[in-house]
Structure 1
């Protein structure tokens, strides 16, 4: 049963440190699965680790997460070749697609090469819930800030643009994130957008942001836009604590 509208939960979280496994499902991921509206069977959750180079350790760790949570885990990899014959068909079989962090620039380049962006758009429009962390949040937007090119953050502006906004991730945990995001919106490099502290996420139904959520105490989410004087204006959002 697909979600009743195209749904994206873009986060700076979703997994927590595990007690018996490397990770455990966090409340943000639980929310994404709930939004898929699955009943009577295990939710199908697809891990996409492109931004981390399809590291097999991360893939296995996510399978452990799914097993512990009662999900039917599977994955999409592109190294050294795609692991499925038809990427679009594979994604359309899912309830939730969970995209891991790493290099969003490399993710976007490889997705373009293999047609993953088009496949993701078809899945999204069909009601498959798209979610993820960091690069797995930035990718759905027009762009944002990234360390894909080196330790000094730079803009990325070639996101999939399913959502007509920019995105700021790790907003409270990396010193360069907030000031660069403000500067890029102020000078017009990026459009207005939504930023999330670690442990927070923003929910979109269609292309409308409909709520902000947090799985960590104190984590916030924000709307940042260019003000009348050309400076960036940041507005904290009301956050639902999960």
Structure 2
């Protein structure tokens, strides 16, 4: 069942340490699935390109999804796409969740295989797109990344489904916030939407409609360029069921 309009959930969270397995589905992933409106056993596709399609982690995602009542498939691109038609596979899902890692590598591999265009088709068709870290930044105009090494740098050629910059791990990685502020002040990034760990931003079309959280006390942030620098606005997210 497709969402009523293009829907995207950009986060710094989504999984947590498991109780009966190594990994559990946390509220942010569950919320993305619920936004699809799917009944019964929702179909979720996990895409781990940014971390090099780590099979062991994908297996844990599938197991966590099974215990959460989800029908989880995995789209691998190494050494070749794991399905005959990527667009057809994505369009058959209720939601897609993209894992973290290197956003620069993700973008290069997706573009080589046409996954960027397939994701846009799925999004426009009402498949809910979501992800964490690199799987969040990829949907925006750009953001801050350690894809090239431990020193954070800007990426400015992301997919641009959303016309903003994106900052992840805003509270847990000390270099993220000052770099995002400086990039917005310099006009390298447009208005930039940032998440603390455990927070997600929900977009309908390209409009930000809500901040949600699976961690108490965490926040979301809007950075806007002003005549004298950057204005930073904190958004208090709505706590999701199961937040800790």
Shorter-chain TM range is over 0.9
SS at 1:29 equivalent? helix
- Deviation at 1:238? 2.9
Deviations 1:57-107 (A, max 9, x none): 111011011111010010111000000111000000000000000000000
Aligned to 2:144: 145
Q: Which residue of 1 aligns with 2:26?
A: 26
Any residues of structure 2 matched to 1:90-129 within 5 Å, and which? 90-129=89-128
Equivalences, count: 240
Give unpaired runs (5+ residues) of structure 1.
none
| Aligned-residue offset at 1:29 | 1.0
User: 2:156 corresponds to which residue?
Assistant: 157
Length-normalised TM-score, structure 1: 0.98
Cα distance between partner residues in 2 of 1:23 and 1:12:
16
Which residue is equivalent to 1:11? 11
TM-align CA RMSD:
0.6
- Residues in 2 aligned to 1:84 and 1:236: alpha-carbon distance in whole angstroms: 42
Aligned pair 1:240/2:238, yes or no? Answer: yes
Give 1:52-131 correspondences, 5 Å limit.
52-131=51-130
5+ residue gaps, structure 2, are: none
TM-score, normalising length from structure 2?
0.97
Stretch of structure 1 that moved more, 19-28 or 81-90: 19-28
For the pair 1:35 / 2:35, whether they are aligned, the reply is yes
Give per-residue Cα distances to partners, 1:154-191, cap 9 Å, x unaligned: 00011100000000000000010000000001001111
